[in-house]
Chains A and B, each alone.
Chain A
């Protein structure tokens, strides 16, 4: 258990935008995961994904890590931002893109 939590922590630290999802960006295995990556594709900044379906231990651990019961889960700059509904709402309200650009931009300057 401790190992997998460490793995999650390094994944969200190393990737400014990290999405835990069902399937991968080319073949999402769930409508909510598909909708989420579609939004990030539209924004066009690089992001990383991890497939929870191929790793049952990760699937359980990520829910405990964020205290959030559903997949997908999006982390920006190491911080849990939300699932599909929240991402969609933030995208519609225009909050998401600046947050994404700020996170990616900050890492590019380092």
Chain B
């Protein structure tokens, strides 16, 4: 779903309670380049749309550009 709304995004999602409403997501996308954290998270929230309001109770987000992701490893 996130991958749908953000072009070229690599997404890793973990359901950390198994209940389908608490998630942790790592999103790596070149479209984050030059954007602050607020803008990046807003892109992800936008991609999730209504699901964010209705289905998801908790979402921990990490948003990186491909270069930042490489540096982390």
Which A residues form the contact surface with B (CB < 8 A)? 31-32, 67-70, 80-86, 89-90
Contacts and interface: CB of A to CB of B under 8 A. Distances in A.
A86 B58 contact: no
B60 A69 contact: no
A84 to B, nearest CB: 8
B59 A68 contact: no
Consensus secondary structure, chain B interface? helix
B42 interface: yes
Nearest to B61: A85
Given A69-B52, A70-B59, A86 B37 contact: yes
Contacts of B41: 68, 82-83, 85-86
Interface string B34-73: 0001100110010000001100001111100000000000
Say which size band chain B's interface belongs to. 10 to 19
Contacts, number: 30
A33 B37 CA distance: 18
Given A86-B37, A89-B37, A68 B42 contact: yes
B47 to A, nearest CB: 12
Given A31-B58, A68-B45, A85-B60, 4 more contacts: A67-B42, A82-B38, A84-B60, A85-B37
Nearest to A90: B37
Contacts of B58: 31-32
Contacts of B37: 82, 85-86, 89-90
Given A67-B42, A68-B42, A80-B38, A85 B62 contact: yes
